[in-house]
Amino acid sequence: MTEKTPPALNSVVVLKQEISPRYMILRVASDGWPLPDFIPGQFAVLGLPGSTPRYILSTPEPYPPGPNELVRRAYSIASSSKINEYMDFYVGLVSSGSLTPRLFSLKVGDHLWLGPKISGMFTLDQVAEGKNVVMIATGTGLAPYISIMTSELTCGSPRRFAVLHGAYHSWDLGYRSELLALQHLCKNFTYLATIDRPEDEPVPWPGYIGWVQDLWKKDVIAKAWGIHPTPGDTDVFLCGNPAMIDEMVGILSKEGYCEHTHKNPGQIHIERY
Ligand SMILES: Cc1cc2nc3c(=O)[nH]c(=O)nc-3n(C[C@H](O)[C@H](O)[C@H](O)COP(=O)(O)OP(=O)(O)OC[C@H]3O[C@@H](n4cnc5c(N)ncnc54)[C@H](O)[C@@H]3O)c2cc1C
């Protein structure tokens, strides 16, 4: 049997920011080719050969890839579409996964594969002009919202934005300081975070406790905006854990929201990780 040719690793890690041992922001620059344009909310594909070492905190993978096999997965672009120097990805470690333990072992200067094709319709251009936008995420499901907020938020515009983020611990809430600062600067932006393991916190957590879908049930948006969001004035984006998405779709459907598809425009936009 002939060996597969090793893939050309066309990109380079230029920054690795460890948020916690299980979350990181990976900044990737292209190695001598122009990065593609994208619409905030879209995703790219990252890849590494099976020969890449696995991260120390990982566990064995059930089906190890061949050394020259390119392991590829989709990742939402977290950086602004106004920046074409690099792309940021907010990545969570799946201990027994195939790609994330290899991504976590990378260092600045290491090469990886970045697919030149950008995809996805989890974007604001699917939302009618002037409507408010509530963006709900668990974990790294925050990534597309960071791109949207840093590319498309116009401070002081009549359109309101809210980001609702859920994680286990406060230290898993990536981009928290940026989002708190944005909330301070932009009256039309609301940021609410919730954690569900408060007993692990080194100091008492001052924010919400529970799952992110509980925030919607507690009507926190109405408290922040002074109006209860309805399908007529607000679209809702859901990204991350499939269980959170399923529960939110159930809650929103009872309030009259419908899932958005190519054929049937609706007010619920979904990206399942
Ligand atoms: C459109 C799209 C965008 C995505 N964007 C991001 C992103 O911005 N950041 C990010 O970290 N991931 C993102 N993902 C998930 C990503 O593509 C991988 O599935 C994930 O990183 C796990 O890859 P892996 O090879 O390490 O694990 P795999 O070997 O693929 O999976 C191992 C097992 O872990 C489960 N699993 C997969 N993802 C997760 C998860 N996030 N948490 C817990 N268990 C999981 C799988 O169901 C499987 O059973 C996105 C997925 C899609 C479809």
Which residues make Cβ contacts (< 8 Å) with residue 29, sequence separation at least 6?
Answer: 11, 12, 14, 35, 85, 86
Under 8 Å between Cβ of 172 and 142: no
Number of C-beta neighbours around residue 5 at 10 A: 7
Q: Which residues pair with 235 in a beta bridge?
A: 133
Q: What is the pTM assigned to this prediction?
A: 0.95
> What's the pLDDT at 5?
60
Res. 262: pLDDT tops 90: no
Mean pLDDT, rounded, for 204-209: 95
How far does the centroid of ligand 1 lie from the alpha carbon of residue 273, in Å?
6
Atom of ligand 1 nearest to the CA of 92: 11
> Is the CB–ligand 1 distance for residue 218 below 6 Å?
no
Atom of ligand 1 nearest to the CA of 96: 32
Mean pLDDT, rounded, for 119-138: 96
Confidence of residue 86 (pLDDT cuts 50, 70, 90): very high
Under 8 Å between Cβ of 194 and 226: no
Structure tokens at 37: 């344009």
Atom of ligand 1 nearest to the CA of 75: 5
Under 8 Å between Cβ of 181 and 149: no
| Closest C-alpha to ligand 1, atom 40 | 94
> Is the CB–ligand 1 distance for residue 140 below 6 Å?
yes
> For the segment 32-55, what is each residue's pLDDT rounded down to a tens digit?
999 999 999 999 999 999 999 999
Res. 7: pLDDT tops 70: no
Mean pLDDT, rounded, for 144-166: 95
Which DSSP state fits 187? T
Res. 3: pLDDT tops 60: no
Q: Phi and psi of 163, rounded to 5°?
A: -115, 125
